[in-house]
Amino acid sequence: MTGYFISQLIAAGIIGLLIGGFLNIAIYRLPIMLQNSWRAQCQDYLDLPKETPQAKFNLTTPSFHCPQCKHSLLTWQMLPLISYIWLRGKCFYCNHRISWRYPIVEIFSAVLAVLTFYYFPAVEAWMVMLFNSCLLLLIIFDIEYRLLVDVITIPLIWLGLFVNTLGVFTDSKSAILGAMMGYGLPWLVGSVYRYVRKIEGIGYGDFKLLAAIGAWLGVKWLVIVLLSSTLLSFIIVFAITTIKRKEAKWFESFSFGPYAIVVSWIMVFWGSSVVHYLVFLGGRFNIPILGAFAS
């Protein structure tokens, strides 16, 4: 690697840290914004008396502050990762412990940015960064709140369809089929499960997430994501229930989104190698269906 390329990767890491800082803001504020919006919608629908109007609350207002002591933060106290290390993981004013989630999201965002600019040309890298950042936001949302919000998943579907008009991951036909299959196949499986067991088996947020993944990665890579994430989720859930034994139930609900997102990241960076290996296995063990991924 040349010195110029290394400097590009360092710059990408810094940009990734800044994006991670913004994602942390969204992770904290977006649920509150959605809750306020849903409350207002319910009041309108049920014709309930309106509550006293609250102060404006969005991603930038009010000013950034400690959620514990409400003290406004200075610029240096908001620097991604650096401020956490400098403050030793505590608020400067009240010494309240800062969640580990903040540096983890920032570091992970930086790693994704470096990998993106390592594997993709500059113009495409910015598009892939957008995809990866949205997935990082969604995986934290699904882990913390068991929620995949429409304000992220639905625009991500349309962005994937647009990006692949430029052929970033696949062609437009594969992107459209991927979006359709990503939503339709899990919806069909979920409908059958609901009919048989009389309970929901998969949430509609997962349908939209998989549709977005299909729109970005295309229909063939979506199949790999679906099969691999399903297998991975069953292995991990089985391991957890085995360890917990009587404390856990096999059919206890779990979030599917994180598994699909992790496999999607693998496909984003190493998808061609994964396909090559699957084709090799298909030829080695005479499994013709695996050869379909090569075309």
pLDDT score for 15? 97
Buried-state track 138-156, b at ≥16 Cβ within 10 A, e below 16: bbbbbeeeebbbeebbeeb
For residue range 95-113, what is the model confidence (pLDDT) as tens digits?
889 999 999 999 999 999 9
**Tokens of residue 257, six digits:** 């989104």
pLDDT at 70: 83
Question: Residue 264: its pLDDT value, please?
Answer: 98
Query: Average of pLDDT values for 218-239?
Result: 92
pLDDT in tens, 171-203: 999 999 999 999 999 999 999 988 888 888 788
60's CB contacts (< 8 A; 6+ apart) are none
pLDDT confidence band for 52 (50 / 70 / 90): low
pLDDT confidence tier of residue 231, bands split at 50, 70 and 90: very high
Q: What is the pLDDT of residue 39?
A: 80
Give pTM, 2 decimals: 0.91
- Per-residue pLDDT of 65-95, as tens digits, reads 888 888 888 888 888 999 999 988 898 899 8
Cα torsion for 22, 26, 28, 29, to the nearest 10°?
120
DSSP 286: T
* pLDDT for residue 106: 97
Long-range Cβ contacts of 266-272 (<8 Å, 24+ apart)? 266/228, 267/217, 267/221, 267/224, 267/225, 268/128, 268/131, 268/132, 268/217, 269/115, 269/116, 269/119, 271/217, 271/221, 271/224
Give the residue among 150, 109, 155 at the shortest CA–CA distance from 129: 109
How far, in Å, CA of 186 to CA of 230, rounded?
11
Per residue in 251-262, pLDDT tens? 456 789 999 999
pLDDT at 295 > cutoff 80? no
Cα–Cα distance for residue pair 52/50, rounded to 1 Å: 7
Residues 6+ apart with CB under 8 A from 97: 89, 90
Mean pLDDT of 144-167: 94
pLDDT band at 4 (very low <50, low <70, confident <90, very high): confident
pLDDT band at 249 (very low <50, low <70, confident <90, very high): low
* Among candidate residues 134, 215, 145, the one with its CA nearest the CA of residue 180: 215
The answer, yes or no, to whether residue 250 has pLDDT greater than 50, is no
- The pLDDT score that the predictor gives to residue 223 is 94
